[in-house]
Amino acid sequence: MSTPGRAILLRRLRRDRLGMLGAVLLLLLLLLSVLGPVLPLGDSTEIGAGPRLGPPTAAFPMGNDELGRSYLPRVVQGIGVTFALSSAAVAITALIGTALGIAAGYLGGVVDGLIARVADVLFAFPALLFGLLVAAVVGPGQISAIVVISTATLPLFVRVIRSVALSVAGREFALAAVVAGASPWRVMAVHILPNIAGAAIVQLTYALSIGMLIESGLSFLGLGVQPPDASLGSLLRLGSVYLNVSPWLALIPGVVLALAIMSVNLLGDAIRDGLEPLRGRALT
């Protein structure tokens, strides 16, 4: 993205209240999870620190879990794990998806057809069912969660990048580079890649929000993060067992999870509106 383009985008983002809300919320959650270990939140591993299934008190602001551990540091840890796992998976999606999308859009022909078919196949698997299959093959855990999230977010990402790359490849500067004798590799890396960055960023925020939904869904089913590690989804899984005795154990990670995903969605919406504002005509 060019420098003036970036300045315009930033100005539009600053004016977008919902987008700013998302950005601030996301930043707070990320800071909390990164600084969690050094903040005085209490020990997440100390068993019997407080009463079992104890309600929120001054000493334990989010109550205690079924082993009497303080819940606040566990939730903070869960935020970090949820973000880290989903981001790792989406980073893989970004790397593979950008390469495949540009290749499909620019090279066309057999390459395009082949990539489109593979994307179709992956797209046809419902993510959680695919997660069940992967869990059956490699066993539940972080690796299978990352595999499932990447394969679930890849097809849509490739399709979007492909269509943007196709339109960029038809523009004058790309054609000029071809005429000047640039190799296909050079055209793809130097002329197409920088011009799909905007679309890629927007699509990545959506992939991240879907990835967080899938990660928490897998962990909720017991197929994601395994104890003693915890993500927001696996905390909710444990908490839902005690829903009638100590509802906060399920409700707190649930609300935090929804807020975390919403912050990503709001930021994504704002970036997209900033890059491509749709000014519809008023009907009156």
Site string for another protein, 57-86 (x = CB under 8 A): ------------------------------
Binding region for another protein (CB under 8 A) out of 64-72, 77-85, 120-128, 180-188: 120-128
Binding region for another protein (CB under 8 A) out of 48-56, 81-89, 188-196, 252-260: 252-260
Interacting residues with another protein between 191 and 210 (CB under 8 A): 209
How many C-beta neighbours within 10 Å does residue 197 have?
A: 14
H/E element, 12: helix 3-15
Site string for another protein, 130-159 (x = CB under 8 A): x-xxxxxxx---------------------
- Candidates 146, 250, 271, 275: give the one binding another protein (CB under 8 A): 250
H-only helix segments in 108-181: 109-123, 127-138, 142-169, 172-179
**Residue 258 CB, nearest approach to another protein (Å):** 5
Binding region for another protein (CB under 8 A) out of 5-13, 49-57, 180-188, 274-282: 274-282
**Residue 262 CB, nearest approach to another protein (Å):** 4
- Residue 221 tokens read as 């089913």
- Residue 134 tokens read as 């992967």
**Residue 218 CB, nearest approach to another protein (Å):** 10
d(CA 35, CA 21) in angstroms, rounded, equals 21
d(CA 143, CA 225) in angstroms, rounded, equals 9
Question: Partners of 70 in the beta sheet?
Answer: 64
The 3-state DSSP class for residue 49 equals coil
Q: Does 121 bind another protein (CB under 8 A)?
A: yes
H-only helix segments in 170-247: 172-179, 184-186, 197-220, 232-241
Q: Does 30 bind another protein (CB under 8 A)?
A: no
By C-alpha distance, which of 154, 162, 251 is closest to 210? 154
Q: Does 110 bind another protein (CB under 8 A)?
A: no
Backbone angles phi, psi at 143, to 5 degrees: -65, -45
Angle between helices 248-275 and 3-15 (to 10 degrees): 130
Site residues (vs another protein, CB under 8 A): 17-18, 22, 117-118, 120-121, 123-126, 128-130, 132-138, 163, 209, 213, 216-217, 220-221, 233, 236, 239-240, 243-244, 247, 250-251, 254-255, 257-259, 261-262, 264-266, 269, 278-284
